Amino acid sequence: MDTTARTALRALAALDLTSLNDGDTPDDIIALCARACTSYGAAAAVCVYPEHVSTARRALMDAGAPVRVATVVNFPDGSSDPARAERETRRAIAAGANEIDVVFPWRALIAGDAAVGARVVSDCKAALPAGALLKVILETGELKDAALIRRAADIALAHGADFLKTSTGKVPVNATPDAARILLQAILAAKSPCGLKVAGGVRRVADAAVYFDLVDAMMGAHWATPARFRIGASGLLDDILAVLSGTSAAVGAGY
């Protein structure tokens, strides 16, 4: 198997297959869940709006698919209302979500208020049952400044984040290697088991390869398992399948 095919398989296993469109229907979500299960293996999760969590959960359970259900809260604005974030988290968990992607109140941090970010993260973490994951979206493209990105990462790590996530995918600048490097540096400095999720703009296997190379170099070749590394994307699956369909049938054990 060549390097590109190996990267495609790694990207598939790490993929949070995402549909966060205002016009999504239940049929769209059922189709998304079907796409998450390929002949080469399954995605790590599907990520949908909270109103579609129960549909996704049922579709994946009916298929017997080993795919988790992620949803977004405090999204996409990253409000400074911890009660809202906690309430949305509890509702999403009750609907069947396994993973919560919460937007950090990045505007408040820019304005000098770090305490509200700590509260949002800690309150959402406290609302999760055992086995559920909290991914904290730092919106690094809006924070911009490396010191602010690191400050947001440190706050999230100190208050229970299971993953640091770069972006919502809803702003002009989303995932970048520079931002991912800062988040990995924070994880290393904290000696934390926290993972990394890159989201927004990762559309091709070649894009994913940039992040796998970065993670492998900084964290070690065996760090980037789905338990610690995710890619949030909608279009990436098409390129993964295009790469794998052009390789030997031996690329995967099948799903």
Which is the catalytic residue, given 16, 101, 162, 207?
101
- Structure-block tokens of residue 200: 């927004």
Q: Which of 125, 135, 197, 207 is catalytic?
A: 197
Q: Which residues have C-beta within 8 Å of that of residue 2, sequence separation ≥ 6?
A: 247
Residue pointed to by tokens 């931002």: 179
User: Is-catalytic flag, 191?
Assistant: no
Active site residue 154: no
Q: Catalytic annotation on 197?
A: yes
Q: Work out whether strand 99-103 and strand 133-137 pair parallel, antiparallel, or are unpaired.
A: parallel
- In contact, 74 and 85? CB cutoff 8 Å: yes
User: 182 to each of 6, 26, 176, 189, how far by Cα in Å?
Assistant: 26, 37, 10, 11
Q: Write out the DSSP string of 79-121.
A: -S-HHHHHHHHHHHHHHT-SEEEEEP-HHHHHTT--HHHHHHH
What number of other Cβ atoms are within 10 A of residue 247's Cβ? 17
Select which of 135, 165, 207, 239 is catalytic: 165
Q: Where are the alpha helices (DSSP H) in the chain?
A: 3-14, 26-35, 53-63, 82-95, 106-110, 115-126, 140-143, 146-158, 177-190, 205-219, 236-245
Q: Return the active site residues.
A: 101, 165, 197
